[in-house]
Amino acid sequence: MTKKKSATAEIDASSTGRADSFWLQIGPLVFLVLIFLLNFISRVIFSPLLPTIEKELAINHGQAGFFFFLISAGYLSGLLGSGFLSSRTNHRQTILLSGTGVGLALFLLSGSSSLWAMRGGLYALGFAAGLYMPSAIATITALVDQRHWGKAIAIHELAPNLAFFTGPFVAELFLTRSTWRAALAVLGLASVLITFAYYRYGRGGRFAGQSPASNAFGVLVRSSAFWIMLILFGMGVSSTVGIYAMLPLYLVSERHVDASWANTVTAFSRSYGPILGVLGGWVSDRLGPKRTMVVSLMVTGLLTLLLGLVSDHWMSAAVIIQPALAVWFFPAGFAALAVLAPPQARNLAVGFTIPFGYLIGGGAIPTFIGVMGDAKLFSLGFVITGILITAGGIIALSLKLPDGGKSAQ
C-alpha cells in the first residue's frame, strides 16, 4: 500500500505545475539518454567487432550469430525479472543495478579467452541491459505529460540511433589502435560512471513498479492488443537490431566488401537515425501510434528485401536507405504500450513485450541469417526477413488501441 501511494504521489507531483512547453520537460531525460546510449552500444558494438572475434575464436557464421541470441536471451530474462526487482526496490535503484551490471559484464567479456566464457558474459550483458527499459519507460511517462509521450520517447530513442551510428566508428578506432577487448573495457567503465552520476544527480524513478504477480499482469494478458504488440516488437527489432547485427559480416564474407568500408557504410546508414527518430515521435503524436507503426514496418520490410536482391554495385545504397523509417517504430510502439497500461503497470507492459521482441528480432533473426550464410544462402536470409517485417506492418492494421489508437492530445 505504501509503495502504491509513493508511486501515485510522484506521478501526481510530476504532473502538477508542468509547463505547456515540451522543451521545458526534457531536462531530466538527459541522464537516461546517456545511460541508454551505453546500454545499447555495449550490445550492438559486437556487430562491427564480429569479423575480428570470429577469426580470433575460430568460429563459423552460425556460432557468431548465436552471440546475439545469447545477448537477447539474457535481455529477455532481465526484462522479465525487472518487474520483480522494481516492485521490491524502485525504478531508480533498478536503473542503477542495470548500468553497473552492464559495466561489470563488459569487463568480464574483455578478459574472456574461451568461447564458453564469452557465451556466459554475453548472457550476463543481456540480462543487466534488460533490467533498464521497463523502469526507464515508467520513469519517463511519470515525468512527462501524456500528450508529449511520443516526443519524449523519441528523445530517449536517440540513444539506440546514435549507438547504431557511432558503434562501427568506435569499433574501428579500437581495432586500428588497440583491440576489441579494450573497446569493451572502456565502454564498461563509462557505463558504471554515468549510471552513478544519474543516481546522484538525476531525477525521477523514486517509486516502485508492479510485480508480474500482481492483478495488473492478468489484465494485460487478456488484451488482444498486448499479444499483437509482442509480434510487432519482434518485427520492429528485426528491422533494426536484427539486420544491423549481421550486416557487416554479410558485406565482408558474402559481398566481399573491405571490412573498414563495411563498418563505414553500416555506420552512415544510421547517421540520419537520430533526426528521423525524433521526427517519428512527432509523427506518432500526430497520426497516432498505430498508423506510424504500420508505415514504419511496411516501408522498412520492402527496403530490407533490397539487401538480398540488389547487385554489388547498388549494395551500399541499399544498406544506407534500409533503416530510413525503421526508427519510427519505437516511439510509436512504446507510446502504444503506455496507452495500454495504467501508470503503475507500464513497467509490466514493457517488461513482457520487449523480451519477446528482442528474442525474435535480436536473437532468432541474426541466428537464422547466420545459418543461412553457412548454407551459402546469406542473401535469401535477408529477403525472408524483409518479407516477415512487411507482414508485421499488415498485422499492425488489426491493432485496436484506446482513443482509436492515438495518444491523448
- DSSP for 106-153 reads HHHHHT--SHHHHHHHHHHHHHHHHTHHHHHHHHHHHHS-GGGHHHHH
pLDDT of residue 1: 44
The pLDDT value recorded for residue 4 is: 47
pLDDT of residue 372: 92
Q: Alpha carbon of 382 to those of 251, 268, 287, 373: distances in Å?
A: 12, 19, 30, 10
Confidence at residue 205, expressed as pLDDT on a 0 to 100 scale = 60
Packing angle, helices 273-287 and 329-340, rounded to 10: 40
The pLDDT of residue 304: 95
| Residue given cell 526496490 in the structure block | 89
Please name which of 293, 324, 281, 328 lies closest in space to residue 140, comparing C-alpha atoms.
Answer: 281
Alpha-carbon gap, residue 146 to 123, rounded angstroms: 35
Question: Looking at the domain 2-405, which fold is it?
Answer: Growth Hormone; Chain: A; (1.20.1250)
pLDDT digits (tens, 9 = 90+) for 91-103: 788 898 999 999 9
Burial of 105 (0-12, 13-18, 19+ CB in 10 A): buried
CA dihedral 159, 164, 170, 172 (to 10 degrees): 180
Residues 6+ apart with CB under 8 A from 315: 251, 255, 257, 307
Distance between CA 380 and CA 370 in Å, rounded? 11
Reduce the DSSP state of residue 170 to 3 states and report it. helix
User: Which sequence spans correspond to the domains of the chain?
Assistant: 2-405
pLDDT of residue 161: 77
Residue type, 236: G
Ranges of residues in the chain with a pLDDT under 50 are 1-19, 404-405, 407-409
